[in-house]
Chains A and B, each alone.
Chain A
Amino acid sequence: MNAERLDFRFEGGVVSGVAGQSIGSALHAAGVRVLSSSFKYRRPRGLYCVAGACPNCAVRVDGLPGVPACVTPLRGGEIVERDRRSSVMDPVPDRISRWVPAGFYYHRLPRRPWLWLRTERVLARIAAAGRLPDPDAAAALLDGGFEERRVEVVVVGAGSAGLDAAAGAARAGSSVLVLERDHQPGGFLLSEPGGATRAGELVTAATGAGAELMLGATALGWFEEGLLAVATRSGLIALEPGRLVLATGSYERGLPFADGDRPGVMLAAGAQRMLVRDGVRPGGRIVVITDEPYGHAAAALLHGAGIDVSVVDRRPADAAHADAVDAGVPVLAGRTIAAAHGRRSVEAISVVGPNGRSRLPCDAVAIAVGRRPADELLLERLYAGSVILETAPERPPGVEVAGER
Chain B
Amino acid sequence: MPIPGVARGGLRRTYDVVIVGGGIQGLALAYELSARGLRDICVLEAGYPGCGASGRNGELVRSAFSSVEWATFFDASLRRWRDLSVELGFNVLFTPAGYLVLASTQEELDRCRGFAARHRDLGLVTELLGDREVRELAPALNPELVAGGVYQPDGGFAHHDAAVWAYARAAARRGVEVHPFTRVTGIRTDGGRVLGVGTTRGEISTPVVVDAAGGHARDVAGMAGVPLPTTTHRLEAIVTESLAPFLRPALATLHLLGYCHQTTRGELVGGTEQNVMEPATSLNGSLRGLRDMAQKFVRLIPQLAGVRLLRHWAGIVDVTADLAPVLGPVPELEGFFLDCGWVYGFMGAPAAGSLLAEAIDSGNVPELIAPFSIERLRAGDYIRESSLVVTLGDA
Contact = CB atoms under 8 A, between A and B. Distances in A.
A109 interface: yes
A133 B306 contact: yes
Contacts of A229: 287, 290
B13 interface: no
A142 B305 contact: yes
A137 interface: yes
Interface string B172-183: 000000000100
Interface residues of B, number: 48
Contacts of B83: 113
Interface string A94-135: 000000000001110111010011001001110111111111
Nearest to B262: A124
B241 A385 contact: no
B287 A227 contact: yes
B91 interface: yes
Contacts of B207: none
A4 interface: no
A107 B264 CA distance: 17
B286 A225 contact: yes
Contacts of B302: 135, 138-139, 142
Interface in B80-94: 82-83, 85-86, 88-94
Interface in A242-299: none
A64 interface: yes
A224 interface: yes
Contacts of B181: 388
B264 A120 contact: yes
Q: Name, among B85, B92, B95, B306, the residue most crowded by chain A CB atoms within 10 Å (CB to CB).
A: B306
A110 B86 contact: yes
Contact of B85 (A39, A110, A141, A224): A110
A224 B280 CA distance: 12
A142 B298 contact: yes
A218 to B, nearest CB: 11
A391 interface: no
A128 B290 contact: no
Nearest to A104: B91
B242 A132 contact: no
B264 A225 contact: no
A116 B91 contact: yes
A84 B265 CA distance: 14
Interface string B291-333: 1000000100011111110001000000000000000000000
B287 A132 contact: no
A221 B304 CA distance: 20
Given A125-B245, A128-B266, A130-B241, A384 B284 contact: yes
A128 B82 contact: no
Nearest to A142: B305
B117 interface: no
Contact of B243 (A65, A139, A221): A65
Residue in B88, B96, B264, B285 whose Cβ sees the most chain A Cβ within 10 Å: B264
Interface string A133-155: 11101110110001000000000
Contacts, number: 138
Contacts of A132: 140, 243-244, 246, 303-304, 307
Interface residues of A, number: 45
Contacts of B283: 384-387
Given A110-B91, A127-B265, A388-B47, A238 B306 contact: no
Contacts of A135: 302-303
A66 interface: yes
Interface in B40-69: 46-48, 51-52
Interface in B121-145: 140
B243 A387 contact: no
Contacts of B76: none
Given A65-B307, A106-B90, A133-B307, A223 B242 contact: no
B162 interface: yes
A139 B265 contact: no
B243 A129 contact: yes
B288 A128 contact: no
A120 B92 CA distance: 12
Interface string A216-249: 0000010111010100000010100000000000
B51 A387 contact: yes
Contacts of A223: 284-287, 290
A66 B290 CA distance: 20
A354 to B, nearest CB: 32
Contacts of B185: none
A128 B245 contact: yes
Nearest to B299: A142
A111 B298 CA distance: 38
B243 A111 contact: no
B288 to A, nearest CB: 7
Contacts of A110: 85-86, 88-92
A222 B284 CA distance: 10
Contacts of B312: 221
B243 A130 contact: yes
B275 interface: no
Nearest to B87: A110
Nearest to B161: A106
Contacts of B266: 124, 127-129
A385 B245 contact: no
B106 interface: no
A179 to B, nearest CB: 16
Interface string B224-248: 0000000000000000011111100
A66 B312 CA distance: 18
A109 to B, nearest CB: 5
Most chain A beta-carbon neighbours within 10 Å: one of B46, B51, B287: B287
A142 B305 CA distance: 7
Contacts of A64: 306
A195 to B, nearest CB: 30
B386 interface: no
Nearest to A141: B305
Interface string B259-271: 0000011100000
Given A110-B91, A134-B303, A221-B290, 10 more contacts: A65-B307, A66-B308, A105-B93, A116-B85, A116-B91, A128-B242, A131-B244, A138-B306, A225-B287, A384-B283
11 contacts: A111-B86, A117-B95, A128-B266, A133-B303, A134-B303, A139-B302, A221-B290, A223-B285, A227-B287, A229-B287, A229-B290
List the 4 closest pairs (A to B, CB-CB), nearest first.
A224-B284, A129-B242, A138-B305, A128-B244
